[in-house]
Every structure is written in C-alpha cells, then in structure tokens.
Amino acid sequence: MKRICVVIGSRANYSSIKSAMSAIRERPDLELVTVVGASALLPRFGAVVDLIRQDGFAVDSIFYMIVEGENPVTMAKSTGLGLIELANIFANLKPSFVVSVGDRFETMATAVASAYTNIPLVHTMGGEVTGTIDESVRHAVTKLAHVHFPANDDAGQRIIRMGEDPESVHVVGCPRIDEVARILGAGCAGLDRIFAEHKGVGGVFGLHEPFLLVSQHPVTTEYGQARSQMDATLKALQRLEMNTIMIWPNIDAGSDDISKSIRAFRERERPEWLHVFINLPIDVYVHLMDSCACLIGNSSSAVREGCFIGTPAVNVGSRQNLRVRGRNVVDVAHEPGAIADAVRGQIEHGRYDSETIYGDGRAGQRIAEVLARTSVDVQKTITY
C-alpha cells in the first residue's frame, strides 16, 4: 500500500486538495497521511485545522513555522522553519509520495524537505503564470517535483517546456473545482445564518438583495504598497455603498498593512454595509460566490472557481497577472474610480456562462488513480 502524505499550510491549500484527499482515502491501495501547519493552525486565520478534522480527516502531524511580522524577512524565516520541521516529519512518517499544493512559501518548504529526504514529490496546480513571488515558487517546485498535476493544457505544456518528462505530466483539472461542483450540486440551505454561525464584525444584512464579495491579499513583490492598494478598493466600495462581505487577507508579506487599512476604514467610516470575516468554510464561500453580484479583489478564486460558477469578477492589480481566465473577469488597476466603474459594469452584465478552463469536477479522482499506478525514480533528469 502506498502512503500518500498531503501537506496543508493554509485555507487555500485545503480547498485546493480536499477532493483528492477524499479520493485517496477511499482507495484500498492508498493510505492518506495528513500533515497540517503554517497559517492553517492559527486562530487569527481561521484555524483551518479544525475544519479539516470536522470534515472527518485525521491529522497525523502538525508543525509550527510562522514568524510574526508579515514581511519579506519573516516569510523567508518561516520557510526555513518549515523546512526544518517537515524534514523530521517526513523522516518519521516515511511516505511513498509527498503532495505539495500550489505556490505559497510553505509549499517551497515542503518541496525542498521532500527532495532532500529522497521522497518523490507530487505537485498540483503547477505550470501557471501569475504575478508575485508565487510565480517563482511555483516553477521552482515544478523542478523539484516528480509527478505533476496541472489544471489545464496550457499549464501542462509549460511544465513540459521546462524540461519535465511528458510521462510525468497529468492534466487532471483543479481539485478546487471538484469542491465547487459538489457544493453547488448539494444546494444551499440559506446564507443569512452565516452572521450568527461565523461571527465576524460589521453590519448585518440580508443576502437576498444584491451584495458584493471582496477577497484581497498582499502582492509580495509590491511590498510596501498593500495599504494604499487596499485603501483604493475600500474607497471604491464606499462609492458603491452596497452590502459587502469581505474576507480577511492571507498571511503573506504585507498582510498586516491590509488589516490596518480595513480596521482604520471601519473605525473612521463605521460602514453598516460592510461585514468582515476572518475565514469561512469552503461551502459557505462557494455559495457566496454563486450568489454575489460581483467578486472584487485579487484572489485566484475569481479566476478559477469564478469561471466555473460564472461569477462576475473584478480583478484588481497584478497578483493574477497573465493567469488563464474566462470571460467572467475584468481587470483593473488600483484606482477607486476604475474599480467602481468595473463593478457597476459587471453588475449590469450579471451572471456568466460556466467555463471549464480549470476542470470539470473530477480532478481528485484522477489524481488518486494516477498515484495508485505510478512509480518513479527519485533521480530526475532534464529532458533536453
């Protein structure tokens, strides 16, 4: 039986691999081992580890690696601590494969620890083009990985052009789309309860009327600009003055500046139309995407899940630069008037047709099937 070790370091990690975890657990020839660390352990980022356990997954090991500060230096130090912790964990667990998700700094720690302990590395969501340091991390992990699960043909071809063996590249779709398909298929029991069940701060309003959804994170390669960038989005929202649900930013360098911008705006303006949540379960977030009039910010969910759902989205700034996108996304700069105008245009347009650029809802099953039949040589060689 192959032991498959999945490493989860954030809320985005979990939603991006959950369906594959379920498919791995269901196979008699695979054993799922779950390792959780980084911001996924921290209450101020929603304690994602609790959601993992609530979903019925055993957490086999945890690791702490986050250095406070949310700046480039602490990101580098956190990555180093993660590498130290994960090397010990992998030595103890002795998995057949380590699965690393996406492109965040904990992903880099996972990839290096796996490579140096001679454990074959599996990488999901590689080969894509975006802005920020995530671009470099994603491609660096690709060069350390032995098995690749890109979300679409564009990403798959890019991995091959990087010198990876075509036999190791399996275009399966994005596991996040699996969750979207499952959640929407199950129906929605009503969103108004989220204020009571998931707390947060701010005004309470009915979600049967048009509302906005905002998810904006720092751009690590534009460190020092996060506060002014968030200020621009908040000024645009103030011009629109529509009921708005906002999700707290991730832990990347600049996160504290975004948090300060949100807090200062709330204290100064006292907007009854704004409610901020630290974190929401993926099923709630998907239903919010399905119901909102427009999604605003720079989250990849606008590009990935958004094109599958058909959510009108306004992508602000460079964080998703050049990522393949559907017709549902409009790109704007960090300028309040441009953001507000784009949101008005998206609201007027309304829902878009679904597109399957990032998968059809069966990625997790495909990943489990490939892992069950795959064996690799830990020694890699470039193909050109």
The pLDDT score that the predictor gives to residue 214 is 98
Are 61 and 93 in contact, with CB atoms under 8 Å apart?
A: yes
- Asked if pLDDT for residue 190 goes beyond 80, the answer is no
> Which residues sit opposite 276 in a β-bridge?
201, 246
The pLDDT score that the predictor gives to residue 32 is 98
- Asked if pLDDT for residue 101 goes beyond 70, the answer is yes
Query: pLDDT tens for residues 130-166?
Result: 877 889 999 999 999 999 999 999 999 999 999 999 9
Average confidence score pLDDT of the chain: 94
Q: What is the CATH number of domain 2-172+362-373?
A: 3.40.50.2000
Which 8-state DSSP code applies to residue 45?
G
Q: Please indicate whether residue 199 or residue 98 has the higher confidence score (pLDDT).
A: 98
So where are the chain's domains? Answer: 2-172+362-373, 182-349
Secondary structure element (H or E) that encloses residue 68, with its range: none
The pLDDT score that the predictor gives to residue 189 is 65
Query: pLDDT tens for residues 6-44?
Result: 999 998 889 999 999 999 999 999 999 999 999 999 988
> Which residues sit opposite 63 in a β-bridge?
37
The pLDDT score that the predictor gives to residue 8 is 96
89-to-5, 93, 102, 178, 282 alpha-carbon distances in Å: 10, 6, 20, 29, 28
CATH topology of domain 182-349: Rossmann fold (3.40.50)
The pLDDT score that the predictor gives to residue 281 is 85
- Asked if pLDDT for residue 45 goes beyond 90, the answer is no
User: Please, which residues have CB within 8 angstroms of residue 341's CB and are 6 or more apart in sequence?
Assistant: none
DSSP track, 299-344: -HHHHHHHHHHT--EEEESSTTTT----TTEEEE-S-HHHHHHHHH
Are 323 and 131 in contact, with CB atoms under 8 Å apart?
A: no
Query: pLDDT tens for residues 315-369?
Result: 999 999 889 999 999 999 999 999 999 999 999 999 999 999 999 999 999 999 9
Q: What does the pLDDT average to over 265-283?
A: 93
Query: pLDDT tens for residues 49-81?
Result: 999 999 999 999 999 999 988 889 999 999 999
Q: What is the pTM of this model?
A: 0.90
The pLDDT score that the predictor gives to residue 76 is 94
